[in-house]
Amino acid sequence: MLLAVPLAPLAGSALAGIFGTAFGGNKFGRGVSHSVTIFGVLLSFLLSALVFQSVVFEGARFDQTIYEWMVIGGLKMEIGFLIDSITAMMMCVVTFVSLMVHIYTIGYMEEDDGYNRFFSYISLFTFSMLMLVMSNNLLQLFFGWEAVGLVSYLLIGFYFKKPTAIFANMKAFIVNRVGDFGFIVGIGLIAAYTGTFNYTEIFAKLPEIESTLMPGTGWLLVTAIGICLFIGAMGKSAQFPLHAWLPDSMEGPTPISALIHAATMVTAGIFMVSRMSPLYELSDVALNFILVIGAITALFMGILGVIQNDIKRVIAYSTLSQLGYMTVALGASAYSVAVFHLMTHAFFKALLFLGAGSVIIGMHHNQDIRWMGGVRKYMPITWITFLLGNLALIGTPFFSGFYSKDAIIEAVKASNLPATGFATFAVMAGVFITAFYSFRLYWIVFHGEERYDQNPDAHHHHDDHGHGHEHDGKPHESPWVVTVPLLLLAIPSVVIGAMALMPMLFGDFFKGVIHVDAAKHPAMTHLADSIHGWVGMALHGFQAAPFWLALAGVLVSYVFYMVKPEIPAAIMAFSKKIGLYQVLEGKYGVDWVYENVFARGARMFGTAFWRAGDQAIIDGAVVNGSWKVIGKLASVVRWFQSGYIYHYALVMILGVFVLMTYFVWLNK
């Protein structure tokens, strides 16, 4: 049964991807393609729900190897599942959000040529993500980790004729490689010192290595491992300074933004750190590092959301900011709170993205909020669900986001790490900023004067399929395949926080899964003293500072964008004068540094090699004597050098596989 969970979406993906595209001769039409993939994910969701039920209510656990790939020396490489409460919860979130996105895509992508290819990719993503969370060892985790990165690459560059999309997917791919380098070093250190990839065996060995120092340094080994693994999480979960790829990833179609860049893939880093909690509890240095990075991300990425004009980019920056919150919770050793926020955020952020996508459909695929306004009259369902998602995001008491966000703020205050002061300031200021830009978006898009008649995409819009859109450019409510997922995501966005609060944070839900050294890290103990139930917490929330900060953010944005729009205009003019706006517009210069320092440096390095190596030695001495051989070789090699990254990825994987098999054969 467990095997069916990841394999069902994989089968759907393979069928749609091979028979639904030119690759396999376009044998499947659209209906067949979306049916096989949706059925696969639906099956996966239903099985996940069953698994969740047996794990939570019957205390079922599963941890064993499914398939042994190979053994090198004493190191086992295998595929295995570890099913416990955190896995079961992640499986349900991944499959549910994925199912909603699959249904929604029927409406969103109806006019798109790449329809079948798109369904194939999102099902493949679902498979990869499930392999990642169900894994019981680091090797399979790494497989899932790289696979979701690859699918993200394919989807960001989905419109492969658009230069911006191609630039964005390269950027995501490369920035992720930087993080993954740290990640694989961390895995290597673990394998070197424990001789195993299996979580349970690693945790059993931890007491032996907790006071080991890294050779040649005064660092604790656990600190080095913890920071290396977290660098991997910084790439995936888009923490400063490896966050630069996420806003650009908005080049992909909206359903991707919801599924990958809000609900599931970006939370893989948070999941991984929580899974490795016994390791992180041994190193205060690593935890403090996590706390600082998370606080920077939560505060400064939120500020950038204020100046964006693209509806999806505003939500992308809020995702960065919320991932910062989760990371802060990890640093404060409140792992269960981080995972709780991961879950509540997955629902309301997927809802916001899909709501934004629904507006984009109504706007004839224009994403600029400067052309929107007064949309609520035309799109009532989108309006209500978007508002509910926004209220959850800013932490309105009784909504799901309130419980997890408030718990994070309380946990940080109670932490005793050196960076606590800064982190507390960052998460409190972040509350105001989040409320401000979320409602800036809301007022401009759903209230305000109607500006759709100036929308450049609305007039000359004639459908190839004769759908007969009204040509006055007025937006209209999206079809049911779009609104039903919105309604189904709005429900958990409102209620799931209250339902899950007590069992997840203070019950036995994560017992034996997440470990906290209560003596060293008092955050969770403090939370348990102050929170006694969902009603009390919400009622108390009305008196606490975060609620008033959020309210202030909403009111200030109302005044700025509904009553006196000249105020933000004046502020903008002033900040342009002092250069502040330019700093924000340039995203603090991070991208500039990447493009000019790292990319150029690498190119110069390459050029030097080419001059000395290629021109002098190879061309001068070698080639002229042997050009015939080279010519023959080149005709073969040309097949591999296609210039497509996915071909290279395939060749690399095959190469690794051949090498591994060769070594195993040698060892025999």
What is the per-residue pLDDT across 218-269, written as a single tens digit (0 to 9) for each?
788 899 999 999 999 998 888 888 888 888 888 888 898 888 888 888 899 9
Checking 626-635 for CB contacts under 8 A at 24+ apart, the result is: none
Strand, coil or helix: what is 72?
strand
Q: Please answer whether residues 328 and 408 qualify as being in contact, where contact means their C-beta atoms are separated by less than 8 angstroms.
A: yes
- Position 462 scores a pLDDT of 42
Q: Distances in Å between the alpha carbon of 258 and those of 99, 100, 133, 337?
A: 12, 10, 19, 22
Judged against a pLDDT cut of 90, whether residue 30 lies above it is answered with no
Asked if residue 662 has pLDDT above 90, the reply is no
Q: How many CB atoms lie within 10 A of CB 456?
A: 12
- Among the listed residues 381, 379, 409, 637, the one whose alpha carbon sits nearest the alpha carbon of residue 531: 409
Confidence at residue 459, expressed as pLDDT on a 0 to 100 scale: 52
Stronger pLDDT, 351 or 525, i.e. the higher one: 351
pLDDT at 21: 73
Q: Cβ–Cβ contacts within 10 Å for residue 527, how many? A: 22
Maximum average pLDDT range among 131-135, 578-582, 643-647: 131-135
pLDDT at position 621: 56
Q: Which helix (H) or strand (E) holds 154?
A: helix 138-156
- For residue 577, the cross-strand partners are none
Report pLDDT digits (tens) over 379-395: 888 889 999 999 999 88
- On the question of pLDDT at 625 being above 60, the answer is no
Quote the pLDDT of residue 466.
Answer: 37
Sequence-ordered list of residues with C-beta below 8 angstroms from that of 521, at least 6 positions apart, any chain: 281, 287, 332, 333, 415, 416
Half-sphere exposure of 577 (CA within 13 A, CB side): 6
pLDDT at 630: 57
Given a cut of 50, whether residue 518 has pLDDT beyond it is yes
pLDDT at 634 over 90: no
- Which parts of 363-479 fold into alpha helices (H)? 380-394, 400-414, 420-446
User: How far is residue 455 from each of residues 259, 360, 451, measured CA to CA in Å?
Assistant: 28, 12, 7
Whether 340 has a pLDDT exceeding 50, the answer reads: yes
> What DSSP letter does each residue of 574-629 carry, written as one string?
HHHHHTHHHHHHTGGGHHHHIIIIIIHHHHHHHHHHIIIIIIIIIIIIIIHHHHHH
Q: Which residue is it, tokens 């890290």? A: 521
Residues belonging to the chain = 668
What pLDDT is attached to residue 465?
Answer: 41
Which residue shows structure tokens 């050793």? 333
E runs forming strands in 48-174:
62-72, 75-83
Q: Which pLDDT value is given to residue 424?
A: 92
Task: Choose among 23, 193, 143: nearest CA to 657.
Answer: 143
Q: 61-100: per-residue pLDDT in tens?
A: 888 888 888 888 778 888 889 888 889 999 999 999 999 9
SS3 220: strand
- Of 68-72, 200-204, 647-651, the range with the highest mean pLDDT is 200-204
CB distance 122 to 105 below 8 Å:
yes
The tens digit of pLDDT for each residue in 599-624 reads 666 667 767 666 665 565 555 555 55
Closest by Cα among 312, 361, 311, 357 to 461: 361
What does DSSP assign to residue 137?
Answer: B
Specify the higher pLDDT residue, 139 or 580.
139
Instruction: Please tell me the least confidently modeled range out of 119-133, 316-330, 498-512.
Output: 498-512
Alpha helical stretches, state H, 210-266: 221-236, 245-248, 254-258
Mean per-residue pLDDT, 31-41: 88
Higher-confidence position of 431 and 375: 431
Task: Tell me which amino acid residue 551 is.
Answer: L
Mean pLDDT of the chain, nearest integer: 83
Mean pLDDT, residues 560-571 taken together:
82
What the block records as the tokens of 214 is 């890294």
336 alpha-carbon distance from chain centroid: 18
Place of tokens 């929107």: 372
Q: What per-residue confidence (pLDDT) applies to 41? A: 92
**Using an 8 Å Cβ cutoff, are 162 and 98 in contact?**
no
Specify whether the CB–CB gap between 492 and 392 falls below 8 A.
no
User: How far is the C-alpha of 492 from the C-alpha of 497, rounded, in Å?
Assistant: 8
Nearest to 408 by CA among 427, 391, 429: 427
- The answer, yes or no, to whether residue 126 has pLDDT greater than 90, is yes
- The answer to whether residue 471 scores a pLDDT higher than 50 is no
Contacts of 447 (CB under 8 A, 6+ apart): 373, 374, 376, 562
pLDDT over 90 (residue 324): yes
Residue with tokens 């017992």: 511
The CA dihedral of 172, 178, 179, 180, to the nearest 10 degrees, is 100
How many whole angstroms separate alpha carbon 499 and alpha carbon 494? Answer: 10
472: pLDDT strictly greater than 70: no
529 to each of 231, 526, 537, 538, 562, how far by Cα in Å?
A: 33, 5, 12, 16, 42
3-state class percentages of the chain: helix first, strand second, coil last, to nearest 5: 75, 5, 20
Judged by average pLDDT, the poorest of 149-153, 312-316, 499-503, 641-645 is 641-645
Cα dihedral 28→29→35→38 (10° resolution): 90
**CA pair distance 278, 290, nearest whole angstrom:** 15
Question: What is the residue type of 188?
Answer: G
Least confident of 64-73, 293-302, 421-430, 617-626: 617-626
In this predicted structure, the answer to whether residue 349 has a pLDDT above a threshold of 90 is yes
What would the mean pLDDT of 118-131 be, rounded to a whole number? 91
Q: Is 47 helix (H, G, I), strand (E, B) or coil?
A: helix
pLDDT over threshold 60, residue 464: no
CA-closest candidate to residue 467, choices 545, 570, 364: 364
Peptide bond into 241 cis (omega under 30): yes
Half-sphere exposure of 102 (CA within 13 A, CB side): 34
What's the rounded Cα separation, in Å, for the pair 93 and 267? 11
**C-alpha 517 chain-centroid distance:** 28
Query: Cα–Cα–Cα angle for 335, 336, 341, nearest 5°?
Result: 100
